[in-house]
């Protein structure tokens, strides 16, 4: 390894240690390549030259940490992201959920909430919304605030509508929101039973037992060891026959927990806990 790369790795490790000790956010086991890219982006945005400079600023300036947190937590999301996932959810998961008198779903890493509203719409159309409580969590309080508000840019409605139709939506998508000067204000009913709360998958524990856990496009940023710990957390948090839903690029297949789940839908990454 070149000396430059060597030094860079030391700097990144020290920065992550500093963040952990000062603020309690633990990024030490995140996949390094994308982490480094994002750290450099913040170094440049702050007008600094080295990662060590950023470390000093982050330690003394919580506002800089807030910015860095936004950079590191990668909040990209959309409504009905991967429409085929929602079709599979309607076909394979909803019938299982129907068997419970009261349903609990954990949406882990919910970002600004688009996924939560999408699931709420699917549940509503399946007649399950009223008896379901969705626990929507994320490490990042700022995105949770947006998720709670449920107001999304009007410019996004075309994309959301297209995804909704592809996902097998049963109504006119516009029935779910009112266009305001502020943006598209989503129907309050969709999140009436939802709880939005900060939860860190790296350091926080199980907090309930769920019939389904949806954690899409989050584990992709974790290294193998951390993924394994999160799979343990999910396994502990699922009821027997509970469903785990991951993102298209994520899998439990190579984990030690693989044999405790049965595949419900291989391409849509749906598994059912069996033991
Ligand atoms: C790319 S977004 C995915 C959003 C949504 N699940 C989706 O698929 O569209 C990843 C989310 O994971 C959250 N996240 C990252 N690390 C986390 C952690 N340790 N605990 C909880 N959430 C985390 C980020 O804040 C971000 O909102």
**Domain layout of the chain by residue ranges:** 3-73, 83-273
Whether domain 83-273 has CATH 3.40.50.150: yes
Best of 38, 109, 163 for a ligand 1 pocket test (most atoms within 8 Å of beta carbon): 109
Q: CA neighbours within 13 Å on the CB side: how many for 274?
A: 10
Predicted pLDDT of residue 73: 79
Query: pLDDT at residue 182 above 90?
Result: no
Q: Please name the residue whose Cα sits nearest to atom 27 of ligand 1.
A: 111
Across 154-181, average pLDDT: 97
Predicted pLDDT of residue 251: 96
Residue-by-residue DSSP string for 170-225: -S-GGGGEEEETTEEEE-GGGGTT-EEEE--TTT----S-EEEEEE-SSGGGB-HH
Across 19-40, average pLDDT: 92
CA of 73 to the centre of ligand 1 (A): 6
Query: pLDDT at residue 90 above 90?
Result: yes
Predicted pLDDT of residue 2: 73
Predicted pLDDT of residue 34: 86
Question: Residue 57 in 3-state DSSP?
Answer: helix
Best of 70, 73, 85, 106 for a ligand 1 pocket test (most atoms within 8 Å of beta carbon): 73
State if residue 69 touches ligand 1 by the CB under 6 angstroms criterion.
no
| Integer Cα distance of 20 and 22 in angstroms | 6
Across 212-218, average pLDDT: 97
* Axis crossing angle, helix 62-73 with helix 3-23, rounded to the nearest 10: 110
Query: pLDDT at residue 1 above 70?
Result: no
Predicted pLDDT of residue 198: 96
Across 71-82, average pLDDT: 91
Q: What is the pLDDT of residues 112-149, one digit of tens each?
A: 999 999 999 999 999 999 999 999 999 999 899 999 99
* Residues 259, 265, 270, 274, Cα dihedral to 10°: -40
* Axis crossing angle, helix 141-149 with helix 62-73, rounded to the nearest 10: 70
State if residue 217 touches ligand 1 by the CB under 6 angstroms criterion.
yes
State if residue 77 touches ligand 1 by the CB under 6 angstroms criterion.
yes
Q: What is the pLDDT of residues 254-263, one digit of tens each?
A: 999 999 999 9
Best of 139, 212, 225 for a ligand 1 pocket test (most atoms within 8 Å of beta carbon): 139
CA of 231 to the centre of ligand 1 (A): 15
Residue 30 per-residue DSSP state: B
Residue 259 per-residue DSSP state: G
Q: Which residues contact 28 (CB under 8 A, 6 or more apart)?
A: 13, 16, 17, 20
Q: What is the pLDDT of residues 147-156, one digit of tens each?
A: 999 999 999 9
CA of 93 to the centre of ligand 1 (A): 22
Q: Which atom of ligand 1 is nearest to the CA of 25?
A: 19
State if residue 140 touches ligand 1 by the CB under 6 angstroms criterion.
yes
Q: What is the pLDDT of residues 191-214, one digit of tens each?
A: 999 999 999 999 999 999 999 999
């Amino acid at each position: 390894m070149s000396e430059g790369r060597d030094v860079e790795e030391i700097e990144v490790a020290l920065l992550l240690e500093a963040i952990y000790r000062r603020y309690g956010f633990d990024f030490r086991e995140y996949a390094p390549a994308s982490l480094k890219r994002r750290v450099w982006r913040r170094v440049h945005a702050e007008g600094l030259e080295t990662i060590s400079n950023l470390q000093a600023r982050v330690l003394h300036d919580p506002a800089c940490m807030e910015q860095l947190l936004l950079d590191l937590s990668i909040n990209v999301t959309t409504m009905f992201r991967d429409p085929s996932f929602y079709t599979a959810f309607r076909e394979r998961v909803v019938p299982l959920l129907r068997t419970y008198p009261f349903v609990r779903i954990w949406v882990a890493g919910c970002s600004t909430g688009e996924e939560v509203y999408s699931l709420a719409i699917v549940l509503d159309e399946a007649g399950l919304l009223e008896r379901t409580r969705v626990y929507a969590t994320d490490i990042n309080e700022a995105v949770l605030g947006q998720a709670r508000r449920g107001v999304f840019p009007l410019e996004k409605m075309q994309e959301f509508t297209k995804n909704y139709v592809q996902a097998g939506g049963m109504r006119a998508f516009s029935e779910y929101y009112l266009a305001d000067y502020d943006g598209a204000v989503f129907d309050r009913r969709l999140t009436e039973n939802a709880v939005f709360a900060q939860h860190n998958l790296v350091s926080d524990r199980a907090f309930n037992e769920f019939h389904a856990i949806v954690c899409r496009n989050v584990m992709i940023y974790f290294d193998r060891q951390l993924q394994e710990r999160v799979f343990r957390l999910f396994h502990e948090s699922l009821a027997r026959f509970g469903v785990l839903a991951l993102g298209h690029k994520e899998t439990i297949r190579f984990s030690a927990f693989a044999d405790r789940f049965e595949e419900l839908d291989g391409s849509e990454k749906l598994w059912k806990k069996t033991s």
